[in-house]
Amino acid sequence: MKLTFVIDSLAIGGAQKHLRQLSVGLANRGHRVEVICLNDVCHPVMASPMVEAGIRLTVIGRRAMLCGVGFWRLVQLLRRTRPDLLVTILFASTVAGRLAAAVTGGLKVVTCVQARNINYRWWQFLLLRLTAGWSRKFVFNSRSAIPFACDREGASTERCVYVANGVEAPLSREQGARVSWIEHGLPFQDDDEIVGTIGRLDPQKGFADLLRVFAPLAVKRPRARLLIVGAGSQEAKLRALVRELDLSARVCFAGERTDCAAFLGSLTVYVQPSIFEGTPNALMEAMAAGVPTVATAVDGTMELIENGVTGWLVPAQDREVLLAALLAVLETPEKRKVVAARGRQEIFERFPLGRMIDDYAKVFEALARDEPAAVCREKA
C-alpha cells in the first residue's frame, strides 16, 4: 500500500509525534510511505526517524505555499506517486491536501482529526466544510471530537472512525534511577517537589490558569517547583505573569526539549491543564512513566483517566479545584504512588503503540480496497 501523509509542519508537537509514530510503524510493516511537510519547520527529532525508516520526506516551505507555487508542487508530487491514500493532518494540510487531491483526480483522502478544534475561526470552519466532501474517511483519536467535527467541520458519522493513540513509554521510576536535574540543565534540588507539564505555550493548554494556581500552592508547599516544557506564541505573556505573581524563583521555562523521556519519571506530579484536547501524548507518556497525573476533564483526557483510580480529573479553568487536587496529591505520597501504578498499568494495557499502528493499517487497507472499516478496539 502506498501512503502519502501531508502535515502543516514537523515541529515538536503532539500531532507531529503521532505522525512520526504512525509513518515509521507502517513503513516498518512494509508499506510504502511518503511524508510531505508544507512548512519549513522540520525538527530532526521528528524527521530523522522517518528518513531512517526509508520514508521519502519532502519539505515544500511556507513561502512557496503562500505564493501558490507550493500548492502546484504538491499536486505534481501526488501525480507522480499516485498514492493509494492521501492522509492529511492539521488544518492547512487538510485544506491544501483535499484541493490537491481533487485537482489530481482519483485520490482517496483520509483526514486525521487531532482535537475538538474550538479555537478555529469562522473562515477555517468554512474551508473545512467546503472541502469535507473530498475526504473519504475521518479518523479521530478522541471520541468526543466526533460530534463537534460533524457539526462544525463537515464530517459525517458514517465516515468517522475512532483509533486510540499509542504510547511510547519513557523510563519509569522502577526502571531507572532518579535523575540529576543539574545534568539536564534544570535548576532543581533532589528534595524539590516538581510539578511538571509539557505542551505548546498556547492558550489552549491552560498554562496561565496553572500559574495562577501555582502561586498559592507555592506558599503552602515551600519545596514545590513548576517545570513548563515547550515553546509557543504565549511565552512572553506567561513569563510576564510569572514576574507579576513573584514566582521567578519557583518556575522554570525549559523550552522545547528532546530529552523529556529521561527525566519525566522523576516528576512528583504531572499536570495537564488544557481547555480542550485530543488525546494528549504527553499525558499518556507521564502515566506510562509511573507519574501521578492531574488533568482537566476535557475530551480525550477523560478517555485516559478514571478519576481517583488511575489519576485525577478536574473541571477545566476551575482554579480552586485544580489547586485542591494538586495539594491533595502532594500531601499524600502513598496514595499517589498507588494511583500512579494503576495509571501506568492501564495505559500500557489500553494504548500500546503496536496496536495503534495495526488499527490504522486495518482502516487504511479497508479504504484502499473500498471495504467497510472494522470497528477499532479501545480495550484488549
Q: Is residue 7 part of a domain?
A: yes
Q: What confidence tier does 184 reach under pLDDT thresholds 50, 70, 90?
A: confident
- Judgement on whether residues 283 and 316 belong to the same structural domain of the protein: yes
Picking from 278, 185, 174, 176, the residue whose alpha carbon sits closest to that of residue 227 is 185
Q: Angle, to 10 degrees, between the axis of helix 281-288 and the axis of helix 333-350?
A: 110
Residue 88: domain span: 2-166+352-368
| The pLDDT value given to residue 278 | 85
The whole-angstrom separation of Cα 311 and Cα 152 is: 31
Number of domains in the chain: 2
**90 lies in some domain:** yes
Q: Are 151 and 195 within one domain?
A: no
Verify that 191 and 339 share a domain, yes or no: yes
Nearest to 195 by CA among 294, 119, 285, 338: 294
pLDDT digits 0-9 by tens, 306-346: 999 999 999 999 999 999 999 999 999 999 999 999 999 99
The verdict on residue 376 lying in a domain is: no
Could you tell me if residue 379 is inside a domain?
A: no
Would you state the cell numbers that stand for residue 17, as one nine-digit string?
509525534
**pLDDT for the residue numbered 322:** 98
Give residue 65's pLDDT band: very low, low, confident or very high (50, 70, 90). Answer: very high
| Residues in a beta bridge with 189 | none
Q: At what angle do helices 122-131 and 91-104 cross, to 10 degrees?
A: 30
Instruction: Clarify whether residues 266 and 311 are in a common domain.
Output: yes
- 331 and 260 assigned to the same domain: yes
Residue 98 belongs to domain with CATH number: 3.40.50.2000
Task: Kindly state whether residues 231 and 311 are assigned to the same domain.
Answer: yes
Q: For residue 172, tell me if it sits in a domain.
A: no
Q: Are residues 122 and 228 in the same domain?
A: no
Per-residue pLDDT at 372: 60
One domain for residues 343 and 356: no
> Does residue 124 form part of some domain?
yes
| Sign of the torsion angle spanned by Cα atoms 113, 273, 40, 35 | negative
| Judgement on whether residues 48 and 128 belong to the same structural domain of the protein | yes
Lowest mean pLDDT among 6-20, 180-194, 238-252: 180-194
Enter the pTM of the model.
0.89
Residue 176 lies in a domain: no
User: Any idea which of 61-70, 167-176, 267-276 has the lowest mean pLDDT?
Assistant: 167-176
52, 200: one domain: no
Domain shared by 16 and 149, yes or no: yes
Q: How confident is the model at residue 177 (pLDDT cuts 50, 70, 90)?
A: low
Residue 374 lies in a domain: no
